[in-house]
Amino acid sequence: TKKMDKVFHRKFGQRVRFLRKQKGMTQEQLSFEIDADNSYIANIENAHRDIPLSRVNKIAKTLGISLKELFDY
C-alpha cells in the first residue's frame, strides 16, 4: 500500500542519512560517489525518491557496508 511505501522510504532515508553521517560524508559527496546528481541523496533521505537496486548496491559499497547492514533498521 502507499502508506507502507511511505514508511519504507522514510526509514530507508533515515538509515542512509545515519550511515552517511557516520562515515563523515556530505550528501553531495555520496551522490558523486554513486554517479548521481547533487540532490539525489537528499531526495532519498527525505523520502522523495524511489531508488533502483543498482543504486542501493552502490550506496552500500560506497559506505563500506553490506546490503544487509543498509537495510538493518
For 61, how many CA atoms within 13 A lie in the half-sphere containing its CB? 9
pLDDT tens for 30-66 read: 999 999 999 999 999 999 988 899 999 999 999 999 9
What pTM, to 2 d.p., does this model score? 0.90
Which of 35, 38, 39, 44 has its CA nearest to residue 15? 44
